[in-house]
Structure 1
Amino acid sequence: MTSKIKRGVSLYSFQEEMFLGKMTVEDCVAFGASIGAPGIEILPEQNMPTFPNISDRQVGEWQDMLARHGAHFTCYDMFLDTKRRKDRLMTDEEQVESIHRDLILCNRLGIRNMRILIFVRPDILEKCVPMAEKLDVHMGVEVHAPWHLEHAWILRTIEVADRLGTKHLGILPDMGIFMKHYPPAFRARFERQGARPEVTQFIVDQHEQKVMCEYTIFEVAVKMQGNKVEVAMAETLRHAPYANPKRIGDYAPYFRHIQAKFYEMNEDCTDPAIAYDEVIPALVKAGWEGTLSSEYEGNRWIQDVHEVDSREQVRRQHVMFERLIAQAEAA
């Protein structure tokens, strides 16, 4: 079967180079297009200096830039700061107003998918559905570790979407939920900071066996008398779940975009931690037609020892995507 999966990249992947002034936004767009990943996921609060005040001229400049490189927008990452005011949380009405603002800008930019932060309540999103339908923007709640596709909080959003019969509210999986193996880059960083190899090996083994994270944290902190760094490493297990990739097809109708999280790619273009070799076949089998959007977050784990090369890491991931999609199509 021929897959209709599309490929893209989140500008978040190049945060290191953009922060250091080594890459401009246009450099990132051009690079994505050059490796067959022309779909661009944007973070307006980070990538648009005058946000939220974006003029029609600025919108036109963005569209012209994308056109120059044969690229297009795929997703708008919204943020909702519920502590917008120092003395209190935002009211429900203020939250709805903020999301409406993002939906409008998303539509003006010609984007049809908006990433919703996971902590936004389903009842708040329900109030935003009429606006999303009017503007034809799909609101996808980010399924981010330690949550997973079948977590009760995520199912609440799906229940709202089903009850309303809307195609403009659903989910948006972050591939960090499919962490089958503990990332080698994590372990190496903790060891550089003072974690003993025998303790880090214990933590890796516990993760490999999928032991409940709280048990491992207790073992390291109490029984092994772990130091501060070792306990911190054990605590990362709270955000290192391995959800069942076979279930992704059941939820495919509820998402149109994927944040293809990864922390490192090997030289042979394989991911040592996240089970893409299981996820991609499940997506192809389901006939999913959305975009795999690279989200590289490995910079913070290696920047203390050598220069970050986000471009090479993203390139390797897309070589992997091409291979895995082709293999799944031929199966």
Structure 2
Amino acid sequence: MAIRRGVSLYSFQNETFQGKMTLEDCIRTCAEMGANGIEVIGEQTFWGWPEQSVDEAEITQWHRLIAKYDCVPVAHDFMLDYKRYKGREMPFEEQVASVRKDIDFGARLGVKYIRALVSIAPEVLVAAAPYAEEKGIKILIEVHAPLHFDHPWIIRHAEAFEKSGSGALGFLPDMGMFLHAFPPVWKEKFMRVGVPQAIADYIVKAYEDRVLSEYVILNVQQMGGTGPAIAMAETLRHNAAFEPKRMLDYMPRIHNIHGKFYEMTPDSNGSYIEPAIPYAEIVSVLKQGGYDGYICSEYEGNRWVEDAMEPDSVEQVRRQQVMLAALLGEPAPQLRAAA
């Protein structure tokens, strides 16, 4: 099987929150781009989840739309924020029960994978794995910046997964951990809120030179930077240019990819590039490793531009899908008429 193109509906968070796009609009839009893999966050797509159960009518509608637009339900991203649960830390048994609840929900949606937040302890996922196996679901811990595949927390998960012997445990790498350049939309936003040009230029160059974040923060302070300037420097604490090739050692347990991006800009070949994330290298590594799952577009540039303009999430996702199609050797996506 080949690498396939999909979309996380998280990409359309602005439009769905504002009521500009319905679930059908989102799924139809993805299908029109030839990106038939659909990933959802339960809280965004199904109002009231997980505190409230989802009516069977909503699940029926979900499956009707998936079939209507010839799409594939790929993943449900769940949010076990056990540290902030009702003002107390959720006990181990409740954490496992909560994961089992999301496994059940994923099964109702017909997905093969559910995304676990990186904060969840491996022991919780290992305890939930037998139930996931029964339901035909794989639990994928998201490897998300500032963590990476050489981080002790991720290594701890990998060791626990191997010791468990369960095939229901794996990884979902977020491509934001391969941030090889400071995103231009970040710089522009910080300058709009008051970061002087000289300091902004320095931070971008320091990131390019891989200067330790603590030195950058100190230097910005000494340059007279305050408030937004310090905040811009502090982004270096949470982002780094980790190496895509590190995915190769984990490929047998990698089953879905978050195609994180902040902005797609035209390139000289009539396609598009993400100026901060090396997608050509990423796709090459995935091909080398024999990856055969989806790359699901995950647009997060909206929060960096919405103070200055109305985000056009659909156009941004479309541009990434054009880029991915080119990298995968596919024809440029053509808009497909609704079924």
Bin of the TM-score, shorter chain as denominator length: over 0.9
**Does the Cα contact within 8 Å between 1:161 and 1:169 map onto a contact in 2?**
yes
Distance 2:74 2:328 in 1: 20
Distance 1:11 1:232 in 2: 29
Q: Unaligned regions of 5+ residues in structure 1, if any? A: none
Q: Cα offset for 1:50?
A: 4.1
Q: Cα offset for 1:72?
A: 1.7
Matched, 1:96 2:99: no
Residue 275 of structure 1 corresponds to 278
Residue 309 of structure 1 corresponds to 312
> For each residue in 1:268-287, what CA deviation from the matched residue of structure 2 results, as whole angstroms up to 9, or x when unmatched?
31110011111000101111
The within-5 A match list for 1:14-53 is 14-52=12-50, 53=53
The within-5 A match list for 1:77-96 is 77-82=77-82, 83-86=84-87, 88-96=88-96
Structure 2 counterpart of 1:29, which letter? I
| Larger displacement relative to structure 2 (117-126 or 43-52) | 43-52
The within-5 A match list for 1:230-309 is 230-268=229-267, 269-309=272-312
Structure 2 counterpart of 1:232, which letter? A
Corresponding pairs, count? 323
Structure 2 counterpart of 1:26, which letter? E
Distance 2:23 2:114 in 1: 19
Distance 2:170 2:309 in 1: 40
Q: Unaligned regions of 5+ residues in structure 2, if any? A: 331-339
Report the aligned-residue RMSD. Answer: 1.3
**Does the Cα contact within 8 Å between 1:284 and 1:325 map onto a contact in 2?**
no
Structure 1 counterpart of 2:10, which letter? Y
What is the identity percentage for the equivalent residue pairs of Structure 1 and Structure 2? 42
The within-5 A match list for 1:114-153 is 114-153=114-153
Distance 2:34 2:282 in 1: 20
The within-5 A match list for 1:56-205 is 56-82=56-82, 83-86=84-87, 88-205=88-205
Residue 336 of structure 2 corresponds to none
Structure 1 counterpart of 2:49, which letter? F
Structure 2 counterpart of 1:85, which letter? K
DSSP-derived class of the 1:46 partner: helix
Matched, 1:12 2:10: yes
Distance 2:184 2:170 in 1: 33
Distance 2:48 2:223 in 1: 51
**Does the Cα contact within 8 Å between 1:182 and 1:240 map onto a contact in 2?**
no
Residue 327 of structure 2 corresponds to 324
Query: Runs ≥4 in structure 1, deviation > 6 angstroms?
Result: none
Distance 1:25 1:59 in 2: 12
Distance 2:15 2:170 in 1: 32
Q: Cα offset for 1:239?
A: 2.0
TM-score by structure 2 length? Answer: 0.93
Q: Cα offset for 1:304?
A: 1.5
